[in-house]
Amino acid sequence: MKILIATDTYGHQVNGVANSVALLAAELRNRGHEVKVLSLSDTRHSYKDEDDYYVSSFSSFVYPETRISLAFQSHLLKELKEWKPDIVHVQTEFSAKWLVMKVVKTTDAPVVMSYHTDYSTYVFKSHKDDTLPRKLASAFYRSAYKNAKVLITPSEKAKQTVELYKIDCPISVIPNGISVTYAELTPEEKASMLKELGVKNNGKILVMVSRISKEKNIDEILSFMPALLKEDPEITLLIVGDGPHKKKLEHDVGKMGLEKQVIFTGLVDHDVVAKYYRLGDIFVCASVFETQGLTYFEAMSNGLPLVCRDDPCLKDVVDQGENGYTYTNCDGFVRYVTTILDNPSLKEQMSQKSLEKSRKFGNDMFLDSIESLYENVINGHEQEETE
């Protein structure tokens, strides 16, 4: 198949959507498909990197890290029109979608879209019934997905959210695939990395890998740290990542006097992020914003027990007491973390359970489902054209 993937966030950005799209494109190419990716340049210049097309863009006024493109006459779009894709898979709802619709209009290629982010929660912090945010979100999503033959969601939680917005197209649940990578980390390498970070190598390290933004709810974990440290003052929280909320969190840590107990690594290259999971003894997360949450699976694939805030997306991910715990309050968080750290045999059992469970979320099932969906959409589109 000739598959064109359109996404606002890709090669030059590090986040869940960018990583997911990069993995999808790479694995489809490995299966012999002809795949091109249309994304936004991080400058005002358009360029190609083999089959990845980056169209000129500029920073948005509201969120400087977000790019916008109005390059509807780009020579790259002309090239993609001449290529004539069999199907177009749109991953985001903004500039890349607007651009790729120019290709769709010329080639009549069928469109499928993926839902990754609940913007009503992200922007308005609400998607409850009969609220202005809900009405605005419904109007936005109906408009964004009106050209899609099928909308793909990564979880039942995401599907239920989308259904609130009364989307017209069919919805298919296909969990995102993950590249299950177990990082090899020698004791010497681990000791060296921890020393460089200023972290004690004492087997009591909580690790969080995340974009540092408000909706990730990292503030909650920080607010639990005084109670946790009261139970065990040797615990360290390692926060891996960067984002717009980082300075505020660093300020809060300073006010609490926890600079030695809470360590920020800053942005880490995706190629080595697995090693940072291996520095930790427990993976922690407080987000209820995830539609699927790939970091859960990455943590499990590196043998970490999980202690995460209870959320529907963790169904079939965290088995309570088996590969970790879900908590609902500070007392639960503190109890579960200390239970694991104080019981080496339990920690080892949970580590093995996480490894076993991670193997069930590999790429093959995801890719099989995506290929089947593409084929069905193409065949259905061809039948519509002949009727």
Same fold, 2-177+362-386 and 187-361: yes
Would strands 52-55 and 47-49 be described as parallel, antiparallel, or unpaired? antiparallel
Residue 318 has a pLDDT of: 95
Which residue do the tokens 């177990």 mark? Answer: 182
Residue 143 has a pLDDT of: 92
**Is the CATH number of domain 2-177+362-386 3.40.50.2000?**
yes
Report d(CA 334, CA 217) in Å as an integer.
17
Question: What mean pLDDT, rounded, does the chain reach?
Answer: 90
Residue 77 has a pLDDT of: 97
Does position 128 have pLDDT exceeding 70, yes or no? no
Name the band, by pLDDT with cuts 50, 70 and 90, for residue 123: low
Does position 135 have pLDDT exceeding 90, yes or no? no
Share of the chain above pLDDT 70, in %: 93
pLDDT digits (tens, 9 = 90+) for 299-312: 999 999 999 999 98
Distances (CA, A) of 93 to 142, 152, 329: 11, 13, 35
Name the band, by pLDDT with cuts 50, 70 and 90, for residue 153: very high
pLDDT digits (tens, 9 = 90+) for 5-29: 999 988 766 677 888 899 899 999 9
Residue 32 has a pLDDT of: 97
pTM above 0.85, yes or no: no
pLDDT average, residue stretch 225-237: 98
Residue 345 has a pLDDT of: 97
**Is the CATH number of domain 187-361 3.40.50.2000?**
yes
Residue 271 has a pLDDT of: 79
Token pair of 241 as six digits: 């990542």
Would strands 47-49 and 282-285 be described as parallel, antiparallel, or unpaired? unpaired
Residues 6 or more apart from 34 whose CB is under 8 A from it? 1, 2, 3, 51
Which residue do the tokens 């190629």 mark? Answer: 271
Does position 116 have pLDDT exceeding 90, yes or no? no
**Per-domain boundaries in the chain:** 2-177+362-386, 187-361
Question: In this structure, what are the phi and psi dihedrals at residue 211, rounded to the nearest 5 degrees?
Answer: -70, 130
- CA atoms 19, 24, 30, 33: torsion sign: negative
Task: Select the more confidently predicted residue: 188 or 125.
Answer: 188
Using CA atoms of 145, 147, 150, 156 in order, give the dihedral in degrees to the nearest 10: 0
Residue 130 has a pLDDT of: 60
